[in-house]
């Protein structure tokens, strides 16, 4: 991974399952040229790991704080992460 890229883990909380959040996140990330993955957690949160230029990551994080129209996001925890493989995919629920 180039020096101008970083990776973060997002833990999105609130009403974020059953509202199309994963597909919405994947579409946003792909449009921004980010690599990573997104999945539901059995605890009710959505988890994503994304990598790209910091300014672009910040844009996705800001969008994730709002989410798709049916979502009600209460919090987005952001931590550093290991870079994911290239591309962006939706993973099964963990």
To which H or E segment does residue 54 belong? helix 54-64
State the fold for domain 6-84.
Alpha-Beta Plaits (3.30.70)
Domain boundary assignment for the chain? 6-84
Going by C-alpha positions, the residue among 2, 16, 23, 83 that lies closest to residue 49 is 83
Please, what is the average pLDDT of the chain? 96
Residue 61 contacts by C-beta under 8 Å, 6 or more apart in sequence? 8, 10, 76, 78
Catalytic member of 39, 40, 53, 89: 40
pTM value surpassing 0.85 = yes
Catalytic member of 22, 53, 59, 89: 22
pLDDT attached to residue 3: 61
pLDDT tens per residue, range 52-86: 999 999 999 999 999 999 999 999 999 999 999 99
The reply to whether 40 belongs to the active site is yes
Q: With a cut of 50, say whether residue 1 has pLDDT above it.
A: no
CA distance 6 to 67: 22
The reply to whether 59 belongs to the active site is no
């Amino acid at each position: 991974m180039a020096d101008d890229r970083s990776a973060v883990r997002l833990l999105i909380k609130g009403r974020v399952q059953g509202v199309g959040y994963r597909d919405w996140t994947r579409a946003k990330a792909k449009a921004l040229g980010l690599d990573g993955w997104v999945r539901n957690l059995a605890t009710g949160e959505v988890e994503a790991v994304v990598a790209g230029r910091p300014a672009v990551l910040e844009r996705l994080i800001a969008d994730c704080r709002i989410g798709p129209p049916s979502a009600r996001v209460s919090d987005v925890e952001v931590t550093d992460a290991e870079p994911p493989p290239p591309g962006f995919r939706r993973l099964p629920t963990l």
